[in-house]
Structure 1
Amino acid sequence: MSLISYIISHSQLSEQSIKNTVDLLNEDCTIPFISRYRKERTGNLDEVEIGDIVKYKEQFEALDKRKKAILKALDEQELLRPELQLKIKAALDITTLEDLYLPFKKSRKTKAEKARQNGLEPLAKIIMGQNANDVESIAFKYVKGELVSVNNALEGARHIISEWINERTDIRNSMRKQLERFAIISTKVVKSKIEVENAQKFRDYFDWEESLSRIPSHRLLAILRAEAEGFIKIKISIDDEKALSKIEDRIIRSNNDCAEQIEIAIEDAYKRLLLPSLSNEALQIAKEKADAAAISVFAKNLKQLLLGSPLGEKRVLAIDPGFRTGCKVVCLDAQGQLKYNETIYPHPPKNDISGSIKKISSLAEAYKIEAIAIGNGTASRETEALIRKIHFKNDIQVFVVSEAGASIYSASKIARDEFPDYDVTVRGSVSIGRRLQDPLAELVKIDAKSIGVGQYQHDVDQVKLNKELDVVVESCVNAVGVNVNTASASLLSYVSGIGSKLAENMVKYRDENGAFISRNDIKKVPRLGGKAFEQGAAFLRIRAAKNPLDNSAVHPESYGLVKLMAKDLGKSVQELIGNATELQKIDLKKYCTDIVGLPTLQDIVKELEKPGLDIREQAKVFTFNQNIKTISDLQEGQLLPGIVNNITNFGCFVDIGIKESGLIHVSNLSDSFVKDVNDYVSLHQQIIVKVLEVDISRKRIQLKLHP
């Protein structure tokens, strides 16, 4: 099977779209570039569809690589027969491929191999022929050397038969189907661990039983974590009698001594070889599905977080609150540059409230502060209350900002390179302030797993998780676009076609030569060749450029088309931009060519109407209920404002202004069935919730979404 045929068999996409997309990928084009600027070639595929093609392409290449390795191994052992070669080449998945290879793997010291060495394979063949009536008499002929009895000989022959049964593809596939449909996952607590400190958080799973095919991803991952930490033992089981009966029906066709020996071998093969192997495989498949679900949740959350509402280029005073160690205060200019830092001590034990108010007031005036960002960690509510007491001369908005991952950033190499002369506390405050100005630009500097919007992110396949999150970050960065003259190397590295090394070169060139004044200037960056420019130029913005298109999503390769449109209308490009009346007069069909079609032309006109428009909404001020300061202040039935701070498959967590977040279980999002939590809430959405239950001892809060 060819690559194109393989992808067609796994998707609903057209052959031509797949072929052209694969060609573009082989030309080192990126997903954002292909989806935005090569719509004619792909048939207008979106990023998700192109991402699926990438995934299936990688699967096919991994399968093909494994096929070649197996064929080589068999050929070297002189075991490769034409029929087997054809089956291996025709295999459509790794499981089928490994089943074909199983009988030919280099022998290990198995019971069956030892029996072969003792010359028992002919006896095993006689028994499997099922024509002999006096098996013990036949087995007596093999009693010699290590084989001291007939029972020894028969046992060895059965071991060989058990291995043959284990290697039969039809039997393995039959058991796989039974496990897929009927497998039960059950747990038993390790009694010696019940009293261990962290054991109680897993107490729901101390004695659990559920269908493996129906277990929700979050519960399976929780159970697997409990097992990994030694608190429980997991067992995968099916109906043994039914499974054994199905195997017997495939093999036994007589009613003699041979059948009796085969029946014993079948039971041995089932319990010792088939069930352990295939139940582990079934659990691994379930784990992979759970991983995929958890990674999908994380990816959705991360996308919403990265595309969170920016305040924009405004001067910000940021505070990382604390009690004993004080509140770390920084002042940032509109571009996020650090202008001043200091520590104030408004809370216990120093309680310098008046001095702190005076300092904040003077800083706000001195640096013409337009907004204040307060981290949502320890002493956040107390600090917010202090700030709201201050009567500023100008209207200053106050925001509470998530601190998740700020400490990771502050101790990172990126932060040290940015602020070599400041300690981690100052860097953390800067990160809080910049998150308010532009969440995307700041959060790309932090390992996504540290941002705290996942579901069992440390338990899933880390390679797949990192890969998926990188795709999300790349998608978000390119969807928004990047100001090439202010962006950090971290942000630039996610621009289509750029990468970390070119991003560093761009920042270095900018530092040494001043701001880029046109997109063509980008070509002067060392090692940034034509391909990188083609892939990335349209995602890089240059404010106040001589050519207004340099601050738009119009690709430089289409500048000529825009000039022609403007010329035909008797306008300059500048006069055409933002002029909806004139743009509506353009007959797009007139400008279609063999390369450029209506999809690209429509995108160009749409961009000209509102060039460089940020797809994100602007940040809005939010205020928690000031009477709720701890979990003890909560009462059932209360209606409270909150902000969604994490979304999972089983519901969403809501920040209601105290240390503990409350949970809106999926059943409490709506009175009707909820298929996807994201259909009802989004990350950082401001909502009203009703308190259903408060468990102070376990620090758990149950909420309901108020309509």
Structure 2
Amino acid sequence: MNEQIISEIKKALAIGEKQIVSVLNLLDEGNTIPFIARYRKEATGGLDEEQINEIYKQWEYANNLLERKEAVIRLIEEKGMLTPELKAEILKAQKLVEVEDLYRPYKEKKKTKATEAVAKGLQPLATWMMMFTNEDVKKEALKYVNENVKDIDEAIEGAKFIIAEFISDDANYRKDLRLDMVKSGMVITNIKKNAIDERKTYEMYYDYHEAVSKIRPHRILAINRAENEKIITVKVELDRERMTAYLENRIIKNSSSPSAVYIKQAIEDSLKRLIYPSLERDIRSELTDKGEEQAIEIFSVNLNKLLLQPPLKGKVILGIDPAFRTGCKLSVVDEQGKVLEKGVIYPHEKTLGGSISEKQIQESQRDLLLLIKKHKVEVSEIEEAIKNISYHKRTHKERYLVVGRSGKKIISSVLMRQRLSDYYLVTARDASKKERKRVYEKENKK
């Protein structure tokens, strides 16, 4: 395992290195996050599902980032264009988008206005213009007029296309402008002409704007839906003059040079045609990712509440979660789903093939009976699919549910008669299979 990545995760999440390594080993063995959180607490130091999931996410991202860095370095090196400074910058990048920005100038490009201009031999003219000399640009451009370049204007235009793409490919410019767009940009939506929104579901977005830094995730998803349904148009807006001024300050070294006016035109073209659309896509993609992450989180919270609702209205419930080594966990909830008491009993051997004393069985019987009497339990919920405890009943009315490991009820409630004093437990080895079969048969007859 990459020790540097583990160290970064340790620092970011404030979790011990040993815990992180244990989690990653368990995941590598094919264990699921819920399984690790529930049954491997001794290995993870009691980490919950959210912590384990965060370790997994950061590990995956860091590995993908490292793989992409190595691939980019290799691709640039194959072209013979890798310098020690560029390699250091790539290795220092903290995000995938930063790596892509650094790789952009070296990518195999499709046919563009700039590549066409380069093919016509106008790269030297573009380089000369970027030197900001005091010589006449048109006089210099005249040297490049030939059978492929018809006149001076076409030569200068081609050079500007090359300069525009050069500006767009600069990773530092993109990084600064992206940060500025996140900090100061606005998400703006407007209704389309002839849009049909019969129920006015998206009425609030007909003419809407909100800061990129403040827009709530659920609004992002609603805007995306409205756009997909062709009801609104969406754009991320930032003061173009401000962006232009930033680029001019960084690029133009001599404002009195005859080249300066053409460089300004190239900057405007680069911003409008190349940089801005790309940054807008990046920002919207990031916003969508955040929206989807929150949607999943909210869904999990709502689902958790739904699953933890009282299974029967107006009943006190006893839940039993069986296990060998750690014992059968007991939990009593009231009519509103509030936890009243928890406990653990050991009605069977702790390991397969182990032994169990009569005293241990009796203690389990006593503890369970006391819990039922104390809280006047009306329904017991028993997890099936594990070799666990079975309940034999005789004369007292007692309702219980058998539920699967997935949490779904696989057997409806069964009404049995039994006296509480006769409530006792036996191991699955002796009676659980027969008991389940009897439960199924009785339920089917009903």
Taking structure 2 as the reference length, the TM-score comes to 0.70
Rounded to whole Å, the distance in 2 between the matches of 1:36 and 1:265 is: 60
CA drift of 1:184 comes to 1.0
Q: Is the 8 A contact 1:186 1:235 kept in 2?
A: yes
Q: CA 1:105 to 1:258, structure 2 compared with 1: closer, same or farther past 3 Å?
A: same
1:250-289 alignment to 2 at 5 Å?
A: 250-254=250-254, 255-289=256-290
Rounded to whole Å, the distance in 2 between the matches of 1:398 and 1:4 is: 50
Flag structure 1 segments of 5+ consecutive residues without an equivalent: 312-396, 400-436, 438-478, 483-517, 520-533, 542-546, 582-607, 617-707
Q: Tell me the equivalent position of 1:4.
A: 6
Q: Which residue identity does 2:286 align to in structure 1?
A: I
3-state secondary structure, aligned to 2:259: helix
Rounded to whole Å, the distance in 2 between the matches of 1:40 and 1:132 is: 74
Q: CA 1:63 to 1:133, structure 2 compared with 1: closer, same or farther past 3 Å?
A: same
Q: Tell me the equivalent position of 1:186.
A: 188
Give CA deviations for 1:622-642 in whole Å, capped at 9, x if unaligned: xxxxxxxxxxxxxxxxxxxxx
Q: Which residue identity does 1:299 align to in structure 2?
A: S
Over the matched positions of the two proteins, sequence identity in percent amounts to 34
CA drift of 1:301 comes to 0.9
CA drift of 1:214 comes to 1.4
CA drift of 1:213 comes to 2.0
Q: Tell me the equivalent position of 1:170.
A: 172
Q: Tell me the equivalent position of 1:50.
A: 52
CA drift of 1:166 comes to 0.8
Q: Which residue identity does 1:279 align to in structure 2?
A: E
Q: Is the 8 A contact 1:35 1:46 kept in 2?
A: yes
CA drift of 1:104 comes to 1.1
Give CA deviations for 1:2-48 in whole Å, capped at 9, x if unaligned: 33134235322222321232223223333334334433432322221
- 1:41 alignment partner, one of 17, 40, 43: 43
Q: Which residue identity does 1:241 align to in structure 2?
A: E
Q: Tell me the equivalent position of 2:428.
A: none
| Higher CA-based Rg | 2
Q: Which residue identity does 2:236 align to in structure 1?
A: I
Q: Tell me the equivalent position of 2:246.
A: 246
Q: Is the 8 A contact 2:320 2:329 kept in 1?
A: no
Q: Tell me the equivalent position of 2:69.
A: 67
Q: Is the 8 A contact 1:481 1:540 kept in 2?
A: yes
Q: Which residue identity does 1:301 align to in structure 2?
A: N
Q: Which residue identity does 1:35 align to in structure 2?
A: A
Rounded to whole Å, the distance in 2 between the matches of 1:398 and 1:580 is: 24
Give CA deviations for 1:571-593 in whole Å, capped at 9, x if unaligned: 74324436679xxxxxxxxxxxx
CA drift of 1:198 comes to 3.4
Rounded to whole Å, the distance in 1 between the matches of 2:265 and 2:293 is: 40
Task: Count residues in correspondence.
Answer: 355
3-state secondary structure, aligned to 1:270: helix
CA drift of 1:277 comes to 0.5
Flag structure 2 segments of 5+ consecutive residues without an equivalent: 331-345, 369-388, 390-400, 408-446
Q: Is the 8 A contact 2:197 2:231 kept in 1?
A: no
Q: Tell me the equivalent position of 2:364.
A: 577
Q: Tell me the equivalent position of 1:548.
A: 347
CA drift of 1:218 comes to 2.1
Give CA deviations for 1:491-510 in whole Å, capped at 9, x if unaligned: xxxxxxxxxxxxxxxxxxxx
- 1:20 alignment partner, one of 5, 19, 22: 22
Q: Which residue identity does 1:198 align to in structure 2?
A: E
3-state secondary structure, aligned to 2:289: helix
Rounded to whole Å, the distance in 1 between the matches of 2:92 and 2:235 is: 35
CA drift of 1:540 comes to 12
Rounded to whole Å, the distance in 1 between the matches of 2:293 and 2:306 is: 20
Give CA deviations for 1:339-364 in whole Å, capped at 9, x if unaligned: xxxxxxxxxxxxxxxxxxxxxxxxxx
RMSD (Å), alpha carbons: 3.8
Q: Is the 8 A contact 1:187 1:207 kept in 2?
A: yes
- 2:86 alignment partner, one of 81, 84, 87: 84
Rounded to whole Å, the distance in 2 between the matches of 1:180 and 1:29 is: 38
Q: Which residue identity does 2:99 align to in structure 1?
A: L
3-state secondary structure, aligned to 1:192: coil
Q: Is the 8 A contact 1:6 1:60 kept in 2?
A: no
Give CA deviations for 1:516-569 in whole Å, capped at 9, x if unaligned: xx98xxxxxxxxxxxxxx9xx99999xxxxx9348xxx7x48x96xx7xx88xx
Q: Is the 8 A contact 2:9 2:55 kept in 1?
A: yes
Give CA deviations for 1:430-464 in whole Å, capped at 9, x if unaligned: xxxxxxx9xxxxxxxxxxxxxxxxxxxxxxxxxxx
3-state secondary structure, aligned to 2:109: coil
Q: Tell me the equivalent position of 1:224.
A: 224
Q: Which residue identity does 2:216 align to in structure 1?
A: P
Give CA deviations for 1:27-80 in whole Å, capped at 9, x if unaligned: 333333433443343232222111111111221232233334434433444444
Q: Tell me the equivalent position of 1:305.
A: 306
3-state secondary structure, aligned to 2:201: helix
Taking structure 1 as the reference length, the TM-score comes to 0.45
Which shifted more, 81-90 or 144-153? 81-90
CA drift of 1:229 comes to 0.9
Q: CA 1:263 to 1:197, structure 2 compared with 1: closer, same or farther past 3 Å?
A: closer
Q: Tell me the equivalent position of 1:139.
A: 141
CA drift of 1:128 comes to 1.3
Give CA deviations for 1:236-279 in whole Å, capped at 9, x if unaligned: 11011111111111111212112222111111111111111001
Rounded to whole Å, the distance in 2 between the matches of 1:105 and 1:538 is: 60
Q: Tell me the equivalent position of 1:294.
A: 295
Q: Tell me the equivalent position of 1:130.
A: 132
Q: Which residue identity does 1:271 align to in structure 2?
A: K
CA drift of 1:114 comes to 0.8
1:469-484 alignment to 2 at 5 Å?
A: none
Q: CA 1:480 to 1:218, structure 2 compared with 1: closer, same or farther past 3 Å?
A: farther
Rounded to whole Å, the distance in 1 between the matches of 2:121 and 2:321 is: 72
- 2:110 alignment partner, one of 94, 108, 115: 108
CA drift of 1:82 comes to 4.3
Rounded to whole Å, the distance in 2 between the matches of 1:241 and 1:167 is: 20
Rounded to whole Å, the distance in 2 between the matches of 1:480 and 1:185 is: 51
Rounded to whole Å, the distance in 2 between the matches of 1:157 and 1:481 is: 74
CA drift of 1:480 comes to 8.0
Q: CA 1:105 to 1:38, structure 2 compared with 1: closer, same or farther past 3 Å?
A: same
Q: Tell me the equivalent position of 1:507.
A: none
Q: CA 1:301 to 1:549, structure 2 compared with 1: closer, same or farther past 3 Å?
A: farther
3-state secondary structure, aligned to 1:45: coil
